[in-house]
Amino acid sequence: MGKVYYVSQNVGLGLLVLAVSALATIIALSIAYDKEKAKNQGKPGDGAADSTSMPTPSTTQFTPKEPWDYYRLPGSLVPVSYDVTLWPRLEPNKDGLYIFTGNSSVVFRCVEETDLIIIHSNKLNLTTFNGHHAKLSGLGEATAPTIKKSWLVVKTEYLVVQLSNRLAVGATYVLHTEFLGELADNLEGFYRSEYVEDGVKKVVATSQMQATYARKTFPCFDEPAMKALFNIIIIHNQGTVALSNGREIETVDSVIEGVPVKVTTFEPTERMSTYLLAFIVSDFVSIQSNQNNNLLIRIWARKKAIDDRQGEYALNVTGPILQFYERYYNAAYPLSKSDQVALPDFNAGAMENWGLVTYRETALLYDPVLSSTGNKERVTSVISHELAHMWFGNLVTLKWWNDLWLNEGFASYVEYLGADYAEPTWNMKDQIVLYDMQKVFAVDALASSHPLSRKEDEVNEPAQISEMFNTISYSKGAVVLRMLSEFITEPVFARGLSAYLNTFAFGNTVYTDLWDHLQQAVENTPEIFIPDSVHNIMNRWTLQMGFPVVTIDTRTGRITQKHFLLDPDSVVDRPSQFNYTWFVPIKWMKSGMEQQQYWLLQKTDTNSLMRVSGDGWVLANTNVSGYFRVNYDPDNWNRLLSLLSTNHQALSVVNRAQIIDDAFNLARAKIINTTLALRTTKYLSKERDYIPWESALRNLDYYILMFDRTEVYGALQAYLKKQIQPLFEHFKTITANWTKIPQGHTDQYNQINAIGIACSMGVKGCRELIKSWYRQWMENPVHNPILANLKSTVYCSAIAFGGVEEWDFAWTMFQNATLASEASRLRSAMACTKVPWLLNRYLEYTLDPTKIRKQDATSTVQYIARNVVGMPLAWNFVRARWSYIFQQYGKGSFSFSNLISGITRRFSTEFELQELKKFKEDNVHVGFGSATLALEQSIEKTTANIKWVTENKASVLKWFTEEST
């Protein structure tokens, strides 16, 4: 599945206004992920959204005895093809239930003698024939044994058919079933999605099979290695269109059970896995192109969205992205068409169903007027991610879910390559450093992290499978594959990849199959040197958790590596066969000159060439191609800092960002001084690029949270004001006094940062500017003059520095908003006010579903808590109404667990710690539900914050004071 950026990842915006920055994104991501989980009981939330919880295999006491007690299929039967007919009803039946009916005949071959047919089936009401749930017949010479009995196993989600005799090895049989299922709105299997257009409720039947929901649609061998051909027929209402993986070959009118319907037949699919099937019935319309060698490419969406040309951008980039992959993989697009559909109500970001990719509207639709640059980038990245899977994942599929990291990590890496091809001016390839590397560094630096790779037998139950969809799989997978591609070079990587895809087309693999082909490609390229095999090098990155910090002493050339832990006192109790040492490929430069790649293969090398004298400097991890952090001796740090202040462009944008991120994290881990970390931000007054600024702001966010209620904040604000002022002026100039949009893609993001921070730090002219834009809008509400990119920042700042009038206007606009993203911008911005009674009133609104929808209630409380004025109000609000809130939202509701962590994020005093503990005691009888773990973590984090503040407050205050004048 695609990664989800529920909040545009580029909301530089209110960052510091709200003192949130990266945290805001993380909060939002976890909210979204939890929402998925809550709604779908652990449905793979399309990814990387899970940034805090680590998968832990659930343990079961139950000991399997019978073949149907095991979660894995016995493997004695192998499917060949299916004929499936489905008929979803888009109106409720007389009991008010939405249903679908259907039948399926699966042709399977017996490969091991057995008198049992075990096939997945879940939540389907199966029609009985002579008391049995299925009919069996033989194909060709084979005669089918009679069915002795059949039954359903709820726990392991099977239909079991016991036969009177054994099936013959090599013989082929047909199992026929007829069934009825609920077309529920739970986003699993074949489900329904509802939306309102022009005041009319519309119903769409759509599907999400990954990972284990195909079995809820028809009985099937529902494992990724059980590939088969599918012949699909969909019966659907007049006035609707049916889509599936294959191209539709015929649609005829018919009358079935007295109902006039259309019957659409699809071309047979290629050999494929069940989790990639898709079925959609809707009244959507499409736009199409045939540019790629007559390949039919279509974008489907609500008629209104298509009429507003919101699908045009997606159509524009799809052709080029497919061309890119055809060349990169050296393999033609494997299907006869490519459909992409925007669903109004689809919780995962996107799903790579083969030939019929499904998206949230925000991941596929782009409105040239109303959408922001961030929205556009998201569309490009998500399309690029999903289309990468059409080969890697769909054509060649990992045998089992334990290798999910390779599928998702791979797509998460090459999505940057595909997007870069489609939008070459965006510098997409740099962004992986912010959005994957720095993100996963934060998670993988905890003692509670886990290795990328899992053993096959550790992943069995559906819940364990969904645990595989996490940040480690997506983002660490992406950055270690990128590192591999860099050290064997991209052409060699692509050659190995192509051999792998062509060898295993329409089949299944394990991750070492890819290593084999890459190794072969390396061996066929004499000019490439690697110090050990691809297997042995990569094992150190995939089989042990974490990553190293490499320390370079440039006076002596001594280099050491050590497992990097954010909390130096944390205890690692997970053993590693490699003792937490890695084979580290280090690209480096000496005083601006690229050097030959160096490999650190032991814990320590006392005699490397990374030595300098005089004014020389060493920079390791050029272009941040390696997944590790770097520390230096103090002299080299000083030389790098002085290089930044005199000639920062001598280093790449991503290296500038990484120096900052490494320094702040090394300081958190107590490896270097906090003041050294702060010094990496001094050169920012000259920095104009987005990635280093964003990296700094994300790191400074913690300082703001810890200090925005103390005297440190005044000095911090003065310092940041001084640093941001030139950036603000820069954008004022290049936008001709804020009348133009900056040309550069990331410049547009950085403009958002510049305005948001300048306003909250009090840069002269900023607030007046914002207010005047907002006032113009208030005077003429039908014409919003604020540029789409700047809306979130401007709304938030205008409300923060305004009063009741500004707030009430936003409220009115919120209630009238027809575009979901506009409503959510306003909902978040209304939490920015500094007026306590407005914040309290807003808190009360969250309990009234006619004002704030129930699903948005807890996230709104969190927005309020981000605001330094709102935080204590939100804390009181939640404490006072805990039992009510718990009763309303506590039972697995989405952002519930983030409520506590969101509110307590600033907690850093003994008094707050006591309050938190008291809250826990006082409400034992009520309970904390899904927030139980979050509450424990909050207590732990508050304790850590108290410690950090105690240790750092004086020196931080001193530093900001000295540097702000």
Name residues whose C-beta falls within 8 Å of residue 339's C-beta, 6 or more positions apart in sequence.
Answer: 243, 286, 298, 300, 355, 356, 357
Q: Which does 474 bind (CB under 5 to 8 A by kind): Zn ion, ligand NAG, none?
A: none
Supply the minimum distance, in Å, between the C-beta of residue 63 and ligand NAG: 30
Q: Which does 99 bind (CB under 5 to 8 A by kind): ligand NAG, Zn ion, none?
A: ligand NAG
In the complex with ligand NAG, which residue's Cβ is closer, 634 or 762?
A: 634
Supply the minimum distance, in Å, between the C-beta of residue 691 and ligand NAG: 24
Binding flag, residue 368, ligand NAG (CB under 6 A): yes
Binding flag, residue 117, Zn ion (CB under 5 A): no
| Distance (Å, whole) CA 643 – CA 640 | 5
Supply the minimum distance, in Å, between the C-beta of residue 849 and ligand NAG: 28
Q: Pairing relation of β-strands 279-282 and 241-244?
A: antiparallel
Q: Which does 845 bind (CB under 5 to 8 A by kind): Zn ion, ligand NAG, none?
A: none
193 with 343: CB under 8 angstroms?
A: yes
663 with 680: CB under 8 angstroms?
A: yes
Name residues whose C-beta falls within 8 Å of residue 650's C-beta, 6 or more positions apart in sequence.
Answer: 592, 643
* Total of chain residues touching Zn ion, rule CB under 5 A: 3
In the complex with Zn ion, which residue's Cβ is closer, 391 or 875?
A: 391
| Distance (Å, whole) CA 499 – CA 78 | 27
Q: x/- string (CB under 5 A) for Zn ion, residues 749-778? A: ------------------------------
Supply the minimum distance, in Å, between the C-beta of residue 99 and ligand NAG: 5
Was 535 annotated as part of a binding site? no
Binding flag, residue 130, ligand NAG (CB under 6 A): no
Considering only residues 39 to 98 of the shown chain, the ones binding ligand NAG according to CB under 6 A are: 97
Which of 815, 818, 813, 820 lies closest to 795 in space, CA to CA?
Answer: 813
In the complex with ligand NAG, which residue's Cβ is closer, 753 or 952?
A: 952
Supply the minimum distance, in Å, between the C-beta of residue 628 and ligand NAG: 18
Q: x/- string (CB under 6 A) for ligand NAG, residues 296-335? A: ----------------xx--x-------------------
Q: Which does 579 bind (CB under 5 to 8 A by kind): ligand NAG, Zn ion, none?
A: ligand NAG
Among 99, 287, 296, 933, binds ligand NAG (CB under 6 A): 99
Q: Which does 591 bind (CB under 5 to 8 A by kind): Zn ion, ligand NAG, none?
A: none
In the complex with Zn ion, which residue's Cβ is closer, 408 or 467?
A: 408
Which of 921, 850, 923 lies closest to 885 in space, CA to CA?
Answer: 923
Binding flag, residue 729, ligand NAG (CB under 6 A): no
| Distance (Å, whole) CA 487 – CA 622 | 12
| Distance (Å, whole) CA 838 – CA 616 | 57
- The secondary element (H helix, E strand) that includes residue 340 is strand 337-343
Binding flag, residue 673, ligand NAG (CB under 6 A): yes
| Distance (Å, whole) CA 844 – CA 841 | 5
The answer to whether 910 is a known catalytic residue is no
Neighbours of 743 (CB within 10 A): 10
Name residues whose C-beta falls within 8 Å of residue 40's C-beta, 6 or more positions apart in sequence.
Answer: 186, 187, 188, 347
| Distance (Å, whole) CA 948 – CA 862 | 24
Neighbours of 184 (CB within 10 A): 16
Secondary structure string (H, E, C) spanning 447-480: CCCCCCCCCHHHCCCHHHHHHCCCHHHHHHHHHH
Which of 289, 288, 244, 287 lies closest to 263 in space, CA to CA?
Answer: 244
Question: Tokens for 421?
Answer: 């091809």
Name residues whose C-beta falls within 8 Å of residue 832's C-beta, 6 or more positions apart in sequence.
Answer: 14, 17, 18, 795, 796, 797, 799, 800, 867
Name residues whose C-beta falls within 8 Å of residue 174's C-beta, 6 or more positions apart in sequence.
Answer: 105, 106, 107, 108, 136, 137, 138, 139
In the complex with ligand NAG, which residue's Cβ is closer, 292 or 923?
A: 292
Q: x/- string (CB under 6 A) for ligand NAG, residues 901-930? A: ------------------------------
Binding flag, residue 578, ligand NAG (CB under 6 A): yes
Considering only residues 176 to 215 of the shown chain, the ones binding ligand NAG according to CB under 6 A are: 180, 182
756 with 15: CB under 8 angstroms?
A: yes
In the complex with ligand NAG, which residue's Cβ is closer, 571 or 593?
A: 571
In the complex with ligand NAG, which residue's Cβ is closer, 100 or 693?
A: 100
Supply the minimum distance, in Å, between the C-beta of residue 955 and ligand NAG: 7
In the complex with ligand NAG, which residue's Cβ is closer, 601 or 869?
A: 601
Task: Quote the Cα angle for 305-308-312, to 5°.
Answer: 85
Binding flag, residue 738, ligand NAG (CB under 6 A): no
| Distance (Å, whole) CA 624 – CA 645 | 20
Q: Which does 411 bind (CB under 5 to 8 A by kind): ligand NAG, Zn ion, none?
A: Zn ion
Supply the minimum distance, in Å, between the C-beta of residue 786 and ligand NAG: 21
Q: Which does 180 bind (CB under 5 to 8 A by kind): Zn ion, ligand NAG, none?
A: ligand NAG
Please state, in angstroms and as integers, the Cα–Cα distance from residue 3 to each residue in 356, 478, 629, 910, following that order. Answer: 17, 12, 25, 39
Q: Which does 312 bind (CB under 5 to 8 A by kind): Zn ion, ligand NAG, none?
A: ligand NAG
* Total of chain residues touching ligand NAG, rule CB under 6 A: 14
In the complex with Zn ion, which residue's Cβ is closer, 411 or 514?
A: 411
| Distance (Å, whole) CA 679 – CA 672 | 12
Catalytic residue among 182, 267, 386, 687: 386
Supply the minimum distance, in Å, between the C-beta of residue 123 and ligand NAG: 8
Supply the minimum distance, in Å, between the C-beta of residue 184 and ligand NAG: 9
Q: x/- string (CB under 6 A) for ligand NAG, residues 526-565? A: ----------------------------------------
- The secondary element (H helix, E strand) that includes residue 110 is strand 99-110
Question: Tokens for 688?
Answer: 């104009």
Q: Which does 633 bind (CB under 5 to 8 A by kind): Zn ion, ligand NAG, none?
A: none
In the complex with ligand NAG, which residue's Cβ is closer, 317 or 705?
A: 317
Q: Would you call 76 helix, strand, or coil by DSSP?
A: coil
Q: x/- string (CB under 5 A) for Zn ion, residues 382-421? A: --------------------------x--x----------
Q: Backbone phi, then psi, for 301, in 5-degree steps?
A: -165, 180
Q: Which does 1 bind (CB under 5 to 8 A by kind): ligand NAG, Zn ion, none?
A: Zn ion
Binding flag, residue 1, Zn ion (CB under 5 A): yes
Q: What letter does residue 435 receive in the DSSP assignment?
A: I
Supply the minimum distance, in Å, between the C-beta of residue 408 and Zn ion: 5
| Distance (Å, whole) CA 413 – CA 474 | 9
The annotated binding site for Zn(2+) is made up of 385, 389, 408
Annotated binding site: 385, 389, 408
Site of interaction with ligand NAG (CB under 6 A): 97, 99, 125, 180, 182, 312-313, 316, 368, 578-579, 634, 672-673
Residues lying near Zn ion in the complex (CB under 5 A): 1, 408, 411
Which residues are identified as catalytic?
386
